[in-house]
């Protein structure tokens, strides 16, 4: 093996291009938003547009509709007066419900945040709907609103009081550890509001056929959409089908039931025809979730040898008034390094905004920016190489619970990354490296992410013609799971990859959970392994039955390979014959995978469209990485460039090095955006830059050489297949690595993201 998991034979562990890649790049792939009519091509007769509130808090007094009502090709205008009482609120997905926000648009005359949906306008064309929507006038009685930290009316609550299962951490006496330490850092780090901005907007298309509702909507949890919508509209979940095959980007959005789905479904019912909604990019900033702004007060101290003696992480994150949802992350920062005294306190600051949501690596991106910046600051104070400081505080056990890590390749990642990045060329003093007009800095930071896994069900069919079909209500979010499933089935059933068809993204298929928390590969590949074993065992049992060719043999000795069912002595049957003993066409099995350590109702939770991610066990199960950044800062203009990013990652068994690297590289590029570009700016209670002209993301010209290295991490205990998942690992720590490199380049510590030219001059 040259690198982690790159196998010598078989299919798993070898690079394989994405099965759906060609359809995507040629435009042949159909996204939920592309669905038109049942055949997918006929244009719909009714299109919706949204009117969103221009005040942040208050009451709707009335609507002036006469002008809008005369707009050509208008079909209907719906407000809370039409739908009030017809849509029930359901709790947030992370609070035991289904929704990405429990706030109900068109539920009453109350306005709870700027940009909430206040009317749904339906026209014969998207243009007609948009034109009429622009003519709707809403009269409001505004009330004072709090938009962010420190605004009058913002309500600070301890997370321990807001969320079930949250506990702050206290180990030893951090005061003594801090006071008596020779080297100390005490600083505040802040991260901004960020919005997902996938290419495919937050669309929906709702169509009724009698009492049955079909929803085409980009989603990474169609089960939650189905069950949440059923609860909102008083339907039996069996009446609702939700389809979301390929997702046109999500970055952490599209994770549960959307606020706009039920109103569009009701509009379709009233009008008696399918209704499609494609909101504007600007509206997508307020009708969905976002990464909330955070601030972190870190106190970190070390003895003369660089051993940490005290860590305090106090964090505040923005939350909405109506959901007990806030991004907690100090449990990860508290457990990362050895330290005898640790204290965390996390608080939510509730304001008049929509509920924030997961944006990939939801807590780790902001929380590790704070900790990994502070670690770097302390290294400079101690005069130690920051990698050496991390090595001195490496630990095989969680300093909080005392549990061991299932594997701990953090320093292996730093060593592999440092070698590839040529870390040793780094000058020992900040502000001393230069290339022409550019000041040069090198920085690094850790990336860590707890491994999550969920129950999953999956249907496998093996056909007598030597092909196979996988069916599962999971989603292809762009991570390559379609390809992994085909590779896995091909390897375990002894078929070519091209002979495996994969069907995903339809609630008519066996239930699967949220495509989130980097849990998809881990959960589904374990379910697939179970399904393949069930098929193998069934074929083998049939082959050894009386009157069959292998009567009386031990079925455990049979394998599926090279299109045959083969006994231990090498004799065998063609797959076609083996299948035909059971059925002329195919054998079918349903696998129900429940991860070890799951609650007993894990399958019921899954089938009910609720959240069921597990982490626990008697070890901490984490994926690791080390990020390295080289920044160039122009001595005259302050322009910041990042010519090089190197990441080394250990994430258990790697199934497809090609898609794994592409996940990691994508994350690293996004991390560059998180460090230098992405920020949604509040102007009073409203967002000032809600479009891709002013909300900046990295372009090809911003990205230099990027290298993602896979570090071996054989971890047989993390789950049956040793997979950790790496969808989110790539972005984590990049922002701190860049901030640390900026310090090395110019000797200036920037603790507030994003880092801008203004900070350099």
Which positions lie near ligand MOS, rule CB under 6 A?
252, 358-360, 362, 516-517, 728
Contact criterion met (CB below 8 Å) for 11 and 657: no
d(CA 464, CA 462): 7
* Residues identified as active-site: 728
Q: Alpha-carbon Rg of the chain, whole angstroms?
A: 27
What values do phi and psi take at 537, rounded to 5? Answer: -65, -40
Q: Which residues contact 203 (CB under 8 A, 6 or more apart)?
A: 32, 33, 217, 218, 276, 277, 278, 279
Residue closer to ligand MOS (CB basis): 657 or 667: 667
Select 517 or 673, whichever has its Cβ closest to ligand MOS: 517
Beta bridge partners of 64: 137
- In three-state form (DSSP H/G/I as H, E/B as E, the rest C), the secondary structure along 416-482 is HHHHHHCHHHCCCCCCCEEECCEEEEEEEEEEEEECCEECEEEEEEEECCCCEEEECCCCECCCCHH
**Between 181 and 359, whose beta carbon lies closer to ligand MOS?**
359
Q: Which helix (H) or strand (E) holds 141?
A: strand 137-142
Distances (CA, A) of 622 to 586, 593, 715, 719: 40, 21, 10, 12
CB 138 within 8 A of CB 119: yes
Least distance to ligand MOS from the beta carbon of 514, Å? 7
Q: 359 near 159, Cβ under 8 Å?
A: no
The single-letter DSSP state of residue 527 is H
> Closest CB to ligand MOS among 274 and 358?
358
Closer residue to ligand MOS (CB): 426 or 475 = 475
For 592-606, the three-class secondary structure string (H helix, E strand, C coil) is EECCCCCCCCHHHHH
Give me the numbers of helices (H) and strands (E) for the chain, helices first please.
19, 32
Rounded to a whole number of angstroms, the minimum distance from the CB of residue 196 to ligand MOS is 9
- In the complex, the smallest distance separating the C-beta of residue 254 from ligand MOS, rounded to whole angstroms, is 10
Instruction: Quote the least distance from Cβ 727 to ligand MOS, whole Å.
Output: 7
Q: In angstroms, give the least distance from the CB of 292 to ligand MOS.
A: 13
Q: Between 421 and 670, whose beta carbon lies closer to ligand MOS?
A: 670
Quote the least distance from Cβ 674 to ligand MOS, whole Å. Answer: 13
CA distance 631 to 742: 6
Q: What DSSP line would sit under 185-214, residue for residue? A: EEEEEEE-BB----SS-S-EEEEEETTEEE
3-state secondary structure of 24: helix
Give the DSSP letter of residue 680: B
Minimum CB distance to ligand MOS, residue 143 (Å): 33
Smallest distance from ligand MOS to CB 252, Å: 3
> In terms of CB distance, is 260 or 360 closer to ligand MOS?
360
C-alpha count within 13 angstroms, C-beta hemisphere, residue 635: 10
How far is CA 446 from each of CA 183, 341, 595, rounded to the nearest angstrom?
21, 21, 28
Task: Give the Cα separation of 100 and 106 in Å (integer).
Answer: 16
Nearer CB in complex with ligand MOS: 510/516: 516
Q: How far apart are CA 120 and CA 484, in angstroms?
A: 41
- Packing angle, helices 481-493 and 520-543, rounded to 10: 20
Residue 698: CB minimum distance to ligand MOS, A: 19
Nearest approach in angstroms of CB 121 to ligand MOS is: 32
Q: Encode 700-725 in three state secondary structure.
A: HHHCCEEEEEECCCCCCCCCCCCECC
Q: Cis omega (within 30 of 0) on the bond before 754?
A: yes
Residue closer to ligand MOS (CB basis): 288 or 462: 288
Distance CA 16, CA 470 (A): 18
Measured distance CA(36)–CA(8) in Å, rounded: 46
Task: Considering the complex, state which of residue 170 and residue 697 has its C-beta at the smaller distance from ligand MOS.
Answer: 697
In terms of CB distance, is 367 or 380 closer to ligand MOS? 367
Tell me the closest approach of the beta carbon of residue 656 to ligand MOS, in angstroms: 19
- Report the run of H or E that residue 640 belongs to, with start and end: strand 640-650
């Amino acid at each position: 093996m040259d690198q982690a998991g790159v196998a010598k034979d078989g299919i798993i562990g070898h690079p394989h291009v994405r099965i759906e890649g060609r359809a995507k790049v040629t435009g042949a792939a159909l996204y939920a938003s592309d669905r038109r009519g049942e055949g997918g091509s006929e244009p719909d007769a009714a299109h919706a547009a949204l009117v969103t509130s221009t005040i942040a808090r208050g009451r709707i007094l009335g609507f002036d509709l006469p002008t809008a009502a005369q707009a050509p090709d208008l079909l209907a205008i719906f407000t809370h007066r039409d739908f009030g009482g017809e849509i029930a609120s359901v709790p947030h997905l992370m609070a035991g419900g289904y929704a990405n926000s429990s706030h109900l648009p068109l539920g009453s005359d109350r306005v709870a945040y700027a940009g909430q949906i206040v009317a749904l306008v339906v026209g014969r064309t998207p243009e007609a709907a948009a034109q009429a929507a622009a003519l709707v006038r809403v009269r409001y009685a505004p009330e004072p609103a709090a938009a962010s930290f420190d605004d009058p009316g913002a309500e600070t609550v301890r997370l321990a009081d807001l969320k079930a299962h949250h506990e702050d951490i206290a180990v030893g006496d951090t005061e003594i550890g801090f006071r008596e330490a020779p080297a100390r850092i005490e600083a505040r780090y802040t991260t901004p509001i960020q919005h997902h901005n996938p290419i495919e907007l937050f669309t929906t298309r709702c169509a009724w056929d009698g009492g049955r509702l079909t929803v085409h909507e980009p989603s990474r949890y169609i089960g939650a959409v189905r069950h949440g919508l059923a609860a909102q509209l008083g339907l039996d979940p069996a009446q609702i089908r939700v389809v979301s095959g390929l997702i046109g980007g999500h970055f952490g959005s599209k994770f549960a039931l959307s606020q706009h789905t039920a109103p569009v479904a009701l509009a379709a019912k009233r009008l008696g025809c399918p209704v499609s909604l494609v909101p504007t990019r600007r509206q997508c900033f307020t009708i969905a979730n976002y990464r909330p702004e955070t601030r972190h007060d870190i106190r970190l101290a070390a003895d003369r040898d660089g051993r940490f003696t005290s860590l305090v992480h106090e964090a505040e994150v923005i939350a909405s008034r109506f959901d007990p949802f806030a991004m907690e992350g100090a449990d990860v920062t508290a457990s990362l390094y050895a330290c005898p005294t640790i204290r965390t306190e996390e608080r939510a600051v509730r304001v008049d905004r929509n509920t924030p949501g997961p944006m990939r690596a939801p807590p780790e991106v902001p929380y590790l920016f704070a900790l990994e910046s502070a670690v770097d600051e302390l290294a400079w104070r101690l005069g130690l190489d920051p990698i050496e400081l991390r090595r001195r505080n490496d630990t095989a056990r969680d300093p909080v619970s005392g549990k061991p890590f299932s594997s701990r390749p953090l320093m292996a990642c730093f060593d592999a990354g440092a070698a590839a990045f040529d870390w040793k060329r780094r000058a020992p003093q900040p502000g001393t490296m230069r290339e022409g007009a550019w000041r040069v800095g090198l920085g690094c930071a850790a990336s860590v992410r707890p491994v999550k896994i969920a129950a999953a069900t999956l249907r496998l069919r093996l056909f007598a013609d030597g092909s196979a079909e996988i069916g599962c209500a999971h989603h292809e979010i762009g991570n390559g799971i379609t390809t992994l499933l085909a590779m896995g089935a091909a390897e375990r059933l002894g078929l070519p990859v091209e002979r495996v068809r994969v069907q995903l993204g339809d609630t008519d298929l066996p239930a699967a959970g949220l495509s989130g928390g980097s849990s998809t590969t881990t959960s589904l590949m374990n379910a697939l392994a179970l399904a393949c074993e069930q098929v193998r065992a069934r074929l083998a049992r049939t082959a050894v039955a009386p009157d069959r060719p292998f009567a009386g043999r031990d079925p455990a000795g049979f394998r599926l390979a090279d299109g045959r069912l083969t006994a231990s002595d090498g004799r065998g049957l063609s797959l076609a014959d083996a299948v035909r003993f059971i059925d002329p066409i195919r054998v079918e099995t349903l696998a129900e995978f429940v991860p070890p350590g799951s609650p007993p109702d894990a399958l019921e939770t899954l089938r009910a469209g609720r959240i069921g991610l597990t982490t626990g066990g008697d070890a901490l199960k984490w994926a690791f990485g080390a990020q390295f950044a080289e920044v160039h800062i122009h001595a005259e203009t302050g322009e910041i460039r990042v010519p090089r990013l190197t990441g080394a990652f250990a994430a258990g068994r790697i199934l497809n090095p090609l898609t794994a690297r592409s996940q990691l590289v994508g994350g690293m590029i996004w991390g560059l955006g998180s460090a230098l570009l992405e920020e949604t700016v509040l102007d009073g209670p409203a967002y000032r830059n809600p479009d891709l002209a002013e909300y900046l993301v990295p372009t090809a010209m911003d990205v230099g050489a990027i290298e993602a290295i896979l570090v071996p991490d054989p971890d047989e205990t993390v789950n049956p297949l040793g997979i950790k998942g790496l969808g989110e690992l790539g972005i984590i720590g990049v922002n701190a690595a860049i901030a640390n490199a900026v310090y090395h380049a110019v000797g200036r510590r920037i603790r507030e993201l994003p880092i801008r030219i203004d900070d350099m001059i």
